Structure 1
Amino acid sequence: MMRVLIVDDEYPARRELRAQLARFPDVQVVGEAASAEEAYELIAALNYDVVFLDIEMPGMSGMDLARRISRGPSGPRVVFTTAYPQYALEAFQVGAVGYLLKPFDEERLGELLDRIAGPRGALPAREAGGPAPAGPRREPGARAPSDAPASRTPPRIPVEKAGKTLLVHPSEIAFIYAQEEQVYVKLHSERLPCRFTLRQLDARLAPYGFLRVHRRFLVNLEKVREVVPYFKGSIGLVVADAERTEIPVSRGLTPLVRRRLGLREE
């Protein structure tokens, strides 16, 4: 039985795909998610064989989620379902096993499912460079042996200062934020502009203790010094920069942030 997770921010699209997949007796839809962030939590907690993933969604994109899946030692295969043909090359570069352009029919879906399952109805081993077979899960951001920063050099982040490009080590960064279409890297006592987007930086830094806590903020959890309670269960994070900056956490991400900080869920 092929265990499937559907990820799309539009409910009608999820409903339609679920109905299509229900026509295949060897496929079981065991989960749905309306965002890549929610899907990331589900993938960390449960075993899925295949994720049907939209690309353009609010917050983390489907492509960013696929990159996270491909970095880990285990995880589901990714099939992109999208109305945009221009992402096809990038999709297969991140290890996708399928790319379905909406609207697609049952025949096209069936051909893809047969290819994924293999000639004997069993999921084949992943190809080199693609996502690994499904296996034991871990909490989002938890370090597995092959994903541990100790096994590779953390990426330096290029920032601009006085007409020069500096390379900043992640351990120097308190948080990163977007303001008026510009991304800034906040060090202890200065902020420096960066040419990467928050999505790109999230993908680069997630294995090194950084977490997207808000659509505008990416935080180094090692720099969090205080959790401030907000209205209706929301929280803010005070980080260890010179200004003791307080960063808001999106309500939907609050449970994940609390878990990552080792706090009791409320």
Structure 2
Amino acid sequence: MLKTRVIIADDDEDSLDILGFYVRQHPDFYILDRCRDGEELLNSIMSRQPDAVLLDIHMPKMSGMEVIDKSLKVKPDLLFVFISGYEQYAVQAFELAAVDYILKPFEKPRLSAALAKIKKARKLQAQTPPVKLYQRIYIRDNNQHYYLNPEDIIMIEKISGKCEITTASKSYTANQNISELLKLLPEDTFFLSHRSYIINIQKISHVTAANQTYIAHFPLTSKYAHISKLKFDELHRRMNLL
């Protein structure tokens, strides 16, 4: 099995250093990132896609519990261990399906036991690979966080380094680039029709020709998406029209 990629998080720098020191003594674990507040941690989880997270509960901007609750909506197979100086959150932690709950202060053997549980949990995941879930798509818009159902998305357009996501009721601006968003979407439904457009092929009402390109139209919005000439035949195949 490949190394377990982890993110560690604590608002106390000394605690973070100790945690990192202990984790690095386990060669089958690799630290992807160190975070000092909940918002930074949530963004790191979404962008780096770790296998596991070791985190404090009390952190600025967003608690560890909130971070995990939001993360599991997008990455339900995320493994996590809470590290806290307070016993009273243990029940809530295990209700979220925490792998372990470590009380501060702790020694290396206690952390080693938690890391062993993470390894065991990863082996179980590998034996029964989860079906990839597309229940929610996580969207970052500066300080706003959105969770969209893929079936609600009509199209995505790249505009000035960001992406505008169009649904029937609202448009959202996402900080992620178009390649990152494409990876989050179901392959059988969403199609990169142009370097600047992703379209939901189930939402297309009709396609019109426009000079050297094509235009996809949708019944629930006045917005439209470009289809490059080289992509047109592939779109037909995807829609089972050939």
- The TM-score with structure 1 as length reference comes to 0.48
1:235 paired residue number: 163
Tell me the amino acid that sits aligned with residue 257 of structure 1.
L
Q: What is aligned with 2:173?
A: 248
Residue 137 to residue 248, structure 1, CA distance change in 2 (3 Å): farther
Pairing partner for 2:100 from 95, 98, 108: 98
Matched, 1:6 2:4: no
Q: Specify the code of the residue in structure 2 equivalent to 1:110.
A: P
CA–CA distance in structure 2, aligned partners of residues 58 and 255 of structure 1: 29
**Equivalent residue for 1:224?**
153
Aligned mates of 2:195, 2:97 — CA distance in 1 = 35
Q: CA deviation at 1:213?
A: 4.0
State how far apart, in whole Å, the 1-side matches of 2:115 and 2:92 are: 19
**Does the CA-based 8 Å contact 2:139-2:147 persist in structure 1?**
yes
1:217 is paired with a residue of what secondary structure?
A: strand
Q: Which residue of 2 aligns with 1:114?
A: 113
Counterpart CA distance in 2 for 1:84 and 1:98 is 14
Residue 38 in structure 1 maps to residue 44 in structure 2? yes
Cα distance, 1:5 vs structure 2: 0.6
Provide the rounded CA distance (Å) in 2 between the counterparts of 1:218 and 1:100: 30
> What one-letter code is carried by the residue in structure 1 that aligns with 2:93?
A
1:163-202: CA deviation from partner (whole Å, max 9, x where unpaired): xxxxxxxxxxxxxxxxxxxxxxxxxxxxxxxxxxxxxxxx
CA distance in 2, matches of 1:16, 1:225: 47
Could you list the per-position Cα deviations for residues 228-249 of structure 1 after superposition, in whole angstroms to 9, with x for gaps in the alignment? 3333x111112123xxx32111
Which residue identity is paired with 1:246? S
CA contact (8 A) 1:79 1:100 kept: yes
Match of 2:54 among 34, 52, 59: 52
Structure 2 CA distance, aligned partners of 1:265 and 1:82?
46
Which residue of 73, 80, 83 maps to 1:81? 83
Q: Quickly say closer, same or farther: Cα 1:212–1:115, change in 2 above 3 A.
A: closer
Name the Cα RMSD after superposition. 4.4
Structure 2: distance between partners of 1:246 and 1:10: 35
Distance, in Å, in 2 between the alignment partners of 1:265 and 1:247 is 19
Counterpart CA distance in 2 for 1:96 and 1:123 is: 14
Determine the structure 1 residue equivalent to 2:69.
64
Residue 138 of structure 2 is matched in structure 1 by 211
Structure 1: gaps spanning 5 or more residues: 149-206
**Secondary structure, counterpart of 1:135 in structure 2:** helix
Distance of 1:6 and 1:54 partners within structure 2: 11
Q: Looking at both structures, which has the greater relative contact order when contacts are Cα pairs under 8 Å and sequence separation is at least 6?
A: 1
Deviations 1:10-41 (A, max 9, x none): 593544421232345x5533422642343255
Gaps of 5+ in 2: 36-40, 197-242
The alpha-carbon deviation at position 116 of structure 1 amounts to 5.2
What SS does structure 2 have at the residue aligned with 1:63?
helix
Amino acid at match of 1:64: D
Query: TM-score, length-normalised on structure 2?
Result: 0.52
Larger Rg: 2
Identify which of 19, 22, 28 aligns with 1:20.
22
In structure 2, distance between residues paired with 1:7 and 1:98? 14
